[in-house]
């Protein structure tokens, strides 16, 4: 399975394509700031459920640009307050930030969503 991938030096412009490609190709992917502890939390949560998502790391300075790109192209602008980092994408769609993901897990919705996207079996 995938391990954490280093983000490329320039972000939104050059690697934008790679990033979107990864979002559409992976059942689950986490996009977060490099070295962010909250990103680590989301990663550990998903790993604890048996999912080992790739983590696409973004440099701190590029955060807002990347968030905007993601908002426009994937989330579709109709989201509540835009993309929060760390951002979790399931089945090519934006699921939410850490808070949303934990809420979905507590309510029991997360595991079915992951299964539907093919990120979990059994």
Partner 1 sequence: MNSASPQFVSSRRMSVFDPIHQISMWGEGFKSNGNLSASMPLIDEADMKLDSQSEDASHGILGAPNKYDQEANKPTDKIQRRLAQNREAARKSRLRKKAYVQQLESSRLKLMQLEQELERARQQGMYIGGGLDSNHLGFAGSVNSGITTFEMEYGHWVNEQNRQITELRTALNAHIGDIELRILVDVMMNHYAEIFRMKSAAAKADVFYVMSGMWKTTAERFFLWIGGFRPSELLKVLGPLIEPLTDQQRLDIYNLGQSCQQAEDALSQGMDKLRQTLADSVAAGQLMEGTYIPQMTSAMENLEVLVSFVNQADHLRQETLQQMSRTLTIRQAARCLLALGEYFQRLRALSSLWSNRPREPA
Interacting residues toward partner 1 by CB under 8 A: 35-38, 40-42, 44-45, 48-49, 98-99, 102-103, 105-108
Distance of CA 119 to the CA centre of its chain: 13
For partner 1, which is the closer residue by CB, 49 or 75?
49
For partner 1, which is the closer residue by CB, 6 or 48?
48
Name the helix (H) or strand (E) containing 69: helix 63-70
At closest approach, how far in Å is the CB of 43 from partner 1? 8
Choose among 53, 89, 59, 55: nearest CA to 74: 89
For partner 1, which is the closer residue by CB, 54 or 97?
97
3-state per-residue secondary structure call for 78-98? CCCCCCCCCEEEECCEEEECH
At closest approach, how far in Å is the CB of 103 from partner 1? 5
Give yes or no for a contact between 66 and 76, defined as CB atoms under 8 angstroms apart.
no
At closest approach, how far in Å is the CB of 17 from partner 1? 30
């Amino acid at each position: 399975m995938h391990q954490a991938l280093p983000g490329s030096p320039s972000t939104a412009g050059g690697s934008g394509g790679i990033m979107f490609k990864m979002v559409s190709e992976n059942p689950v992917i986490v996009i977060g700031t490099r070295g962010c502890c909250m990103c680590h939390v989301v990663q550990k949560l998903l790993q604890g459920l048996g999912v080992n998502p790739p983590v696409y790391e973004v440099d701190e300075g590029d955060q807002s640009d990347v968030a905007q790109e993601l908002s426009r192209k994937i989330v579709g602008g109709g989201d509540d307050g835009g993309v929060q980092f760390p951002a979790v994408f399931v089945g090519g769609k934006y699921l939410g930030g850490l808070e949303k993901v934990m809420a979905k897990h507590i309510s029991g919705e997360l595991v079915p969503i992951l299964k539907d996207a093919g990120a979990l079996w059994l």
